[in-house]
A and B are shown apart, each in its own frame.
Chain A
Amino acid sequence: GAVVSQHPSRVICKSGTSVKIECRSLDFQATTMFWYRQFPKQSLMLMATSNEGSKATYEQGVEKDKFLINHASLTLSTLTVTSAHPEDSSFYICSATKGQGANTGELFFGEGSRLTVL
């Protein structure tokens, strides 16, 4: 199997603070991980592609200084929401793939993290 674990599942923070979300591939190495954001009853919007050992690739309109991504190892990627504001409240979900390059394969999703900024 392929298991992706995400932590924390829920976090409530005050406006202006930073929040870190971890995404781990438990039984496989993931060169590439993807971070998505999902608003209630809406689709999964790709925020950025996290690449082990290099800088993340951000989608248009996503502030890289706001959403810091670090892919420090082949099994761990982190998303830090800096200086969070109420509009950052959302469901953040990571995913990882066993495939590389042209061999895009199934995405395995983490459990998601529900961020509420007060």
Chain B
Amino acid sequence: GENVEQHPSTLSVQEGDSAVIKCTYSDSASNYFPWYKQELGKRPQLIIDIRSNVGEKKDQRIAVTLNKTAKHFSLHITETQPEDSAVYFCAASFSGGYNKLIFGAGTRLAVHP
């Protein structure tokens, strides 16, 4: 079936530390993997995405890695700041006509000063 698993569900780090969130997906045909950040009461915002033809992508303090063989992808945030505190969702595209996105359960990240 169509499934995206995400862990951990909560993550607490000290400011300046790194944070890693991991996701696995079920469909080997999935080809698009975005990460969204959602602050309380707000809409999700894309922070980084990766397509299946690359293994890693980096944007300043944020990076995403993809292992297609293992059907696994991860979000890495370095030098965390208190403003990074939010809920992070991974997602994977699933075929079936319109390439819908199925989201993971979310990770609540808390960065403590």
Which A residues lie at the B interface, using CB under 8 A? 32, 34, 36, 41-46, 49, 51, 57, 93, 99, 101-107, 109-112
Contacts and interface: CB of A to CB of B under 8 A. Distances in A.
Nearest to A33: B98
A99 B100 contact: no
A42 B96 CA distance: 25
A90 B72 CA distance: 31
11 contacts: A44-B44, A46-B102, A51-B98, A57-B96, A99-B99, A103-B99, A106-B34, A106-B46, A107-B34, A109-B44, A112-B43
B97 interface: yes
B60 to A, nearest CB: 18
Contact of A43 (B34, B89, B93, B96): B89
Contacts of B43: 93, 109-112
Interface residues of B, number: 23
A55 B101 CA distance: 19
A43 B49 contact: no
B107 to A, nearest CB: 10
Contacts of A34: 100-101
Contacts of A45: 103
A86 B10 CA distance: 29
Contacts of A110: 43
A2 to B, nearest CB: 10
B19 interface: no
B53 to A, nearest CB: 12
A2 B8 CA distance: 31
A43 B99 contact: no
